[in-house]
Homo-oligomer: A and B are copies of this chain.
Amino acid sequence: MRNSEIVEALIFSAEGALSIKDILNILPDASKQEIEDIVTELNRTYDRSGRSFMIEKVSNGYMFATKKEYSPYLRGLHKTKRLSNAAIEVLAVIAYKGPCSKQTVDNIRGVDSSSALRTLVDNHLVDIKAGRPLKYITTKRFLEVFGLNSISDLPDIAQFQEIFGEDQNIEQEEDLFL
């Protein structure tokens, strides 16, 4: 197996940019120069064979990226960024309790939810209903992303303990959401 193949596989599978140091950890017999030459050579091969991607050198290492000219097509892929745990919590509360005010969400979670709410609205997962106070509701996009036909497809909260019961001794019948 040639080093160039291994280097390619390493950069391909790395989460984020991969530094030369990380590569040398796995290929201790290679040199810094050799890695640089390998990447140059790989990119030359990609160019020659009409690949739509290449290895970019970014500040902290190497990473694969598709070439700029394909970006008009890639925009059609509708990437939605991953949500933080806080955002999923807020989303869950609104899904079960909505339409509800920010105050309700904050009370249930015991922490302020402003920034998570903002993310959800930006991602079109939550919409705002006019009124005093403002109310938050989940959107059609929410249903699509979570693969639900309607909000009533969400399971009953009392059923959660089947696998999410933290402790068998804790009876969860008496709960906040009833």
Contact = CB atoms under 8 A, between A and B. Distances in A.
Contacts of A53: 8-9, 12
A134 B155 contact: yes
A97 interface: no
A69 interface: yes
Interface residues of A, number: 55
Interface string A90-125: 000000000000100000000000100110010000
A53 to B, nearest CB: 5
Interface of A: 1-2, 4-6, 8-10, 12-15, 18, 22, 25-27, 45, 49-53, 64, 66-67, 69-70, 73-74, 76-79, 102, 114, 117-118, 121, 128-134, 153-156, 159, 162-165
18 contacts: A5-B50, A5-B51, A6-B73, A9-B52, A9-B66, A9-B70, A9-B73, A13-B70, A25-B76, A49-B49, A102-B162, A102-B163, A117-B163, A118-B164, A128-B155, A132-B156, A133-B162, A134-B155
